[in-house]
Structure 1
Amino acid sequence: DEAAARAAVGTAVQSRDAARAAMDEARDTHRALSVEIATLEEMERSSALSAGEARAWLVEHVDEVLGLCEPLSHVIQASAGFEPLVESLLGGDVATLLVEDAGAVELIAGQLAAAGAAGEASFLIRDDASPSRIRGAARVRRERFGGAEGVPLVDELLFPEEARGAVEALLGDVVVCPTLEAALSAHGRDDAALRFATPDGAIVWPSGKVSVGGAVVDEGAGVLARVRHLEELRAQLSGAAAAQAKAEEAHRLAEEALRQAQATSLELSQALANLRGRAEAARNTASAAAEKLASCRRELESVERQRAEAEAAVASARPNVESFEARVKELDAALDAGKKKQEALSEELAPLRREAHRVSDSLAEAKLAQATLSERTTYAERVRDARVRDLETLAAASEEARVALRAKTVSAARIEPVLALIDELTASAQKWTRQLEEQATAAEDSSTGLHSSVTEARGRAHEAHALFDGVSERLSEARVQKGRLELQVEAAVNHIATDLSVPLETALSVPPLENRPEVEDALFKINRRIANLGTINPDAAEEYDALKVRYDYLAAQLEDLDRARRSLAKINRVIDARMKEDFVRTYEAVDRNFQEIFSILFPGGSANLSLVDPDDVENTGVEVNAQPKGKRIAKMMLLSGGEKSLTALALLFAVYRIRSTPFYILDEVEAALDDTNLRRLAAYIDSLRDETQLIMITHQRRTMEMADVLFGVSMQGDGVTKVISQKLDQALKHAE
């Protein structure tokens, strides 16, 4: 049943797709875990390389150093919550390297000295601690500080038994108490020189020193946490590898089931198509014959009908021949008259056409005049707008003049009392002078005995004149000062009213400045800074706030991007290194496969692959070198067409041997081969039957003979292609 076969194929496709999705997911998980493990391993390696030249040399030559175990951080595993405390207690010893014995330390020191590796490297002898002393210290801890008061730190650690001596030597004297109070109490009762610590990092030393806040390593960010996370990832990687293998096996089984369902469906479809083709061909043949017969009958009836109509038309047309000839003459005469009338109308139409051209020219001139008037109107509107703006400017200037007039009026009102006082002083001085002069004259006329009084009076008169001159001079200075003040007041009023846009009444209500020189100096500096700034943007504050928010956001994003860039750069270095290793490994495998397959296709010949630039693996090219037996070929272009085809097939099979493919499609690859080379290629392709499926398009009989199923495509006489299939094993059974 074709429908059931198609349903089976659909079910198999769904199963295959589900298995492929599960396989891809398992591969993605395995790849992600591998990348994360590589990143952590690179961090461990970078940390070791940055610890000094000696430590870096040991990391690079760990396989050459005898007696060297591993860092202490890889040996100790702390319980949850104790990793920061253990790192705080160990300090720099967390990276100390374990060695088997003292002889190993001497040997490593000699190797470092011979290599010229400077820097510090710390070692811990694994079996240095005495077993009896370790058991004694453990017994003291359990007997004195067991239970609720505290637990030995080594009881919360996991480590190999052979490393117990080293761990006890470093951390065997540490007792973990729940609180600092309990640690201090235990220290007061201690006589074995133990250290007491709390989970939050407080440590009470045997000397009485108390350290608080020592465990500052973030949870999950320390060396021990990183090593623990690395071990967990490796365990997850093993599980992911098993899951990937299981998913690949399920995918392989689903592919196999799909291939079987497709083969069954293909066989049923081919059989059904063959039967349908035969039935359709028969129906088409019968339909074509019936249609041909009906067409012949219709054609015969049409011919008979046309013959009868022709005979009737001939019989009816004979009496009307003369009338038709007369009608033709009448029509010829009417045609001549129509031509003459057309010529007369053409002559009448010529003046009308000239008038139409003249009207068209007048219309163009009118449009031009209209455009000119429109332009003049636009210019008049622009002039009118300019005059309106001039009137507005004059109105603003008039308003400014009125403001200045009010300011000058106020200044004059303030200066009038000063001028009145000066005039009053001048009048008083003149009056006193006249009185003195009258007294002097009276004294001179009354008596010569009063000569001394007159002289004295004259002296006072001279003094009064001097005083008058001084007052006049001060009056002149006051008037000059008044003029200056008026100018300053006018400038100040203009500045206040025009530049600062502040009403004069508001400015007059402001109290005078107490430290005017300092304010003027500060104002001068501010004005100079404002002038240096150029044109002021009133929206600068809002733009600054918006740009500040944008800047803070971009700065945070930039910092995140920088961190991501550094992380990606580290991962990229790991990936580049892995890609180089994978390329070299794949290149070597393909080269080995190519040499093997080439020797099969060309017995006695040799071939290999070579890198164009071995020092630059990322950008290098690959050259193919092939030497068939008995030939010395310097260039691949000198090979024959068949040799080139076989060499290309050898390279293709070498590549796909690394990563197998479910099937090959080969389109006349043996067209240029002779019988000998064709026999070798057929033998090698026959060896691939158990590993993959091959679909070959060929015209060679030898290739057809080795196939399991043959599909032939031919074109029938009606232009319809036909597919014929045959299984050779069944054909042989029928032949037998």
Structure 2
Amino acid sequence: TLISWLKQVKGGRVTILPLNSVQGSSLSGQAKKYLSQPKVLGTALELLSFSKEYEPALASLLGRVIITEDLDTALKLKRQITGFSRIVTRDGSMVFPSGAITGGSLNTRTSGLLARKAEVGALQEDLATFKLQFKEISAKEQGIIDQTVSTERQLKELREEHVQTQLLIQRTNQEKKQAEQEMANLRNYRARFEEAIIKQKKLLENLDAEQELTANKVKELEGDEIRHREFIGKQEEELNNLVAEIDLASKEETKEQISLTELKGSIEKLQIRIDNLDQQKKAASMASQEAKQELDRLSEEVKEFEKVIAETAASNEIRKREQGKLQMTFEEKRQERQIVLKEISALEEELLKAQKEQLQKERALYKWEMEHEQLGNERANILESLAEKGLNLASILVRDVERNESALKKDIDGLRRKINALGLVNPAATQEYERVQQRCVFLRTQLADLDQARESLQDVITEMDKLCRTKLSDTFEKVRVEFQKLFNQLFSGGQADLIMTDPDSILTTGIEIMARPPGKKLRNLLLLSGGERALTAIALLFAIRKVKPTPFCVLDEIDAALDDSNLHRFAELMVEFSKETQFLVITHRPGTMEAAHTLYGVTMGEEAYSQIISVSLT
């Protein structure tokens, strides 16, 4: 039998209720009258649904067990009736006929079916409450995500405006430098011009009365030059004011960049808090109150960020208008300077013309002076000759000439021949003239050579600039294409691009690296994580090596920030490039070592000196 078998195997004890012999028990009719009281649910047998054939067994177990709502009702009922086996409450407490009471906290292993049913109901109510709280938190979280997306969109617009502002400031600085260079040239030219005027004044002081008209004209030119000099001084003062305003605008731009950097840090903090909120969703049932407080705080911070963004946008708009006004003022000043340059050019032409006229008059004056001096010398010689012969000029002028004119002409011709026979008055004048003439020819030749060399050098510079622009543009496009391919290969997707900040000035432009790893938005390299930046830099480095291969390349812990999957793709890329380039890699990563052909390690022995150990893996 079953009981004998349990004894043999020591399998425990069992109570058997044979349906054909067991007799059920029930309360008396007098006791059943009290079951209709409030909070008395009835006997356990009446509350169950079962097949009729099992009624004797269940009646023997539950026929005299009464179920009540609470312990107070059970105690009151125990004093009123007799003949029951026990009274059980809905929370699991029991009252026995002897007066004993069993109750306390529920244990999931020992509590009865009714207590478990009550516990299940309470848990279902808590679950419904938690679901409702979770929906509210999810809705608030979606609102924060929408606000974050809007904030990122506004931040992207601010970045674009910032890039445009930087380009405008760069162009303004270039124009400022050009203006400063032109002003320096004007100052140098003005100094040379003033020196020329001083020289002309010294020459004009030595001229005779015949040059008074020219001197007056030069004085008028000097007056015009003084007026133009004053005008140029005013222009320089206005230009200096304009430069100061541009410097002020640059400082304001720097402040705006600092504000943008702070805003970017705040956005990153907001993103981190949102990630923390995602983790807290898994424990919403345990931390719903903390999540609500965190969401409220995040909402306030988002509002503050919106205010900061609005203020920044307004300040950017004001700065743009101020820069537009400064640009217009700068254009006006530049046009005025062009007008002044034209007037100076006209004055130069007039001055050159006056100098030519003055030179011609100086030559004529010099000729007249020489002739006057020669005539004076001849007169003195004649007077001296007359004095030696005892004659004077007055007696000769009034004397009667007895000889005829032909005889006198013969005498004059004879005297002229004698004078010619004497030679030049200054024998070294011819040699001095030839020396000066040779020096002048030499200087003119040197000047022509310098002009030719300058034109040739200018042509070479122009050709070199053109060649550099062409080569740089072609190389940039090739590196850009290879960078996009290698970025896609290393990241297993995504997009990347190289963008010139000033395409119109390719020799002085900067280059921005834009990257979009898979599942992320297109953003600047500085906004990526450390591993993403390292992998992007590796893609750019190998893109340059692909366009301009080198026979040897040294890499110093370039793979330090890469995870295992990215390290594997980097090792494959290095193996691919090793067909054309020999790599010397300094690394601590086993994945990179596995892709190497030869390993070199440095170790220190007991003798405290280093040793190099090499291992060939091929």
Q: TM-score, normalised by structure 1?
A: 0.26
Q: TM-score, normalised by structure 2?
A: 0.30
